[in-house]
Amino acid sequence: MPQITYREALRQAIDEEMQRDDRVIILGEEVAQYNGAYKVTQGMLDKYGPARVVDTPISEEGFTGVGVGAAMAGLRPIIEWMTLNFSLMSIDQIYSNASKIRYMSGGQFAVPAVFRGPNGPAEFLGAQHSQALQAMYAHCPGMIVVAPGTPYDAKGMLKTAVRDDNPVIFCEAEMMYSWKGEVPEEEYLIPFGKADVKRPGRDITLISYSKPLRLVLDAAAELARESIEAEVLDLRSIRPLDEEAIYASVKKTNRCIIIDESWPFASVGSHVAWLTAKNCFDYLDAPVELVASEDVPMPYNHNLELAVQPSVPKIIAAAKRALYLE
């Protein structure tokens, strides 16, 4: 299988879906003439023209609303937010319109739109551009929220997102665009609501998704050197959530650590921790641990920025607490 970057996996998914269905369009800031802020839409303008690859004004509320209306009218728009931090400008369009129109119209209107862009902290972006906002979107019924952590998952899930008749929040990460992984040349789709065991184990379950997945795999490799076999479960899909996979893994290992780069209060990680504690109570040999970012605005100083976020040492320490080794 060829190895390609996360960026290229997304680009291939968009290109293939635009070839397959002429209702698929792209709109957002700098997606056309500049080839995308992160070059995900490289070459799309030349290939599909300005009617299907549309540069928008710097108005997230405006072009998000245009995307919702286009989806209601029968198109299948991919709306690129330069960062999910900027999506906060369009929150009314998402919460009040995209997520509710299908329900409020009794199914007469669907909103088959994909809202995608980088989410969470990167480097030197400061407090306002380092927010992980997936929990805010997952909180609202009527939307699908996914956060793939590998190029393979990113391509398969983005193709699934484009074909779905519901609005999909597709969370990427700025630091992941250059990550490489194996992606097959033949077409494939990855269904929503299916977690993936990235590393099997018997001693403890490590649950994560998106960018922290690499940290979790590194931590699992270090634990293995101490004869601790950690199972790494990648959620991939936040809403719908694969609860069956979570419970199956925890019932096997009897211990659970959840790693989430967002703040701990009312986060995806805290919700998964509650579900696990509630539904696996009789199988747990230790309290469920949550390794999240510190509950503070993101510092600009890089040493402090790293200290705030989940890390391999933090994950290992939590695992050893759960195993009563510390």
At residue 19, the pLDDT reads: 98
Segment 50-60, tens digit of pLDDT: 999 999 999 99
- For 125-153, write each residue's pLDDT tens digit: 999 999 999 999 999 999 999 999 999 99
Would the pLDDT of 24 be above 90? yes
Fold of 196-322: Rossmann fold (3.40.50)
C-beta neighbour count of 72 within 10 angstroms: 19
144: three-class secondary structure by DSSP? strand
Does position 275 have pLDDT exceeding 80, yes or no? yes
Q: How confident is the model at residue 41 (pLDDT cuts 50, 70, 90)?
A: very high
Other Cβ atoms within 10 Å of 49 Cβ, number: 11
* Residue 217, pLDDT above cutoff 90: yes
pTM over 0.85: yes
**Confidence category of residue 287, pLDDT binned at 50, 70, 90:** very high
Mean pLDDT across 177-188:
96
Say how many CA atoms lie within 13 Å of 57 toward its Cβ. Answer: 6
With bands split at pLDDT 50, 70 and 90, how would you rate the model's confidence at 3?
very high
Q: Which residue has the tokens 């795999």?
A: 217
Q: Where in the chain is the domain with CATH 3.40.50.920?
A: 196-322
Buried b (16+ CB within 10 A) or exposed e, 109-126: ebbbbbbbbbbbbbeebe
- Place 325 in a pLDDT band, splitting at 50, 70 and 90: confident
CA distance 49 to 54: 9
191 upstream amide cis, omega within 30 of 0: no
Q: Supply the residues annotated as catalytic.
A: 60, 129
Residues of the chain with CATH 3.40.50.970: 3-182
Q: C-alpha angle 183/188/189, rounded to 5°?
A: 115
pLDDT for 206 equals 98
CATH class of the region 3-182: alpha beta
Q: What is the pLDDT of residue 1?
A: 86
* Among 207, 299, 292, 216, residue whose Cα is nearest residue 253: 207
Q: Does the structure show a pLDDT above 80 at 326?
A: no
Terminal-to-terminal C-alpha distance of the chain = 42
Alpha helical stretches, state H, the chain: 6-20, 44-48, 60-72, 91-92, 101-104, 134-138, 151-163, 212-225, 243-253, 268-279, 302-308, 312-322
Q: Please name the helix (run of DSSP H) or strand (run of DSSP E) that holds residue 4, with its range, or none.
A: strand 3-5
Q: Averaged over 85-106, what is the pLDDT? A: 96
Calculated CA dihedral for residues 184, 189, 195, 197, nearest 10 degrees: -20
Instruction: Indicate if the alpha-carbon torsion angle 106, 107, 109, 112 is positive or negative.
Output: positive
How far is it, in rounded angstroms, from Cα 154 to Cα 190? 9
Q: What average pLDDT does the segment 96-114 reach?
A: 97
Tell me the mean pLDDT in the region 202-229: 98
Q: Backbone phi, then psi, for 126, in 5-degree steps?
A: 75, 180
Average pLDDT score over the chain: 97
- Bridge-based pairing state of the strands 230-234 and 204-208: parallel
Spatial separation of the C-alpha atoms in residues 217 and 199, rounded to whole Å: 8
Q: What percent of the chain has pLDDT over 70?
A: 100
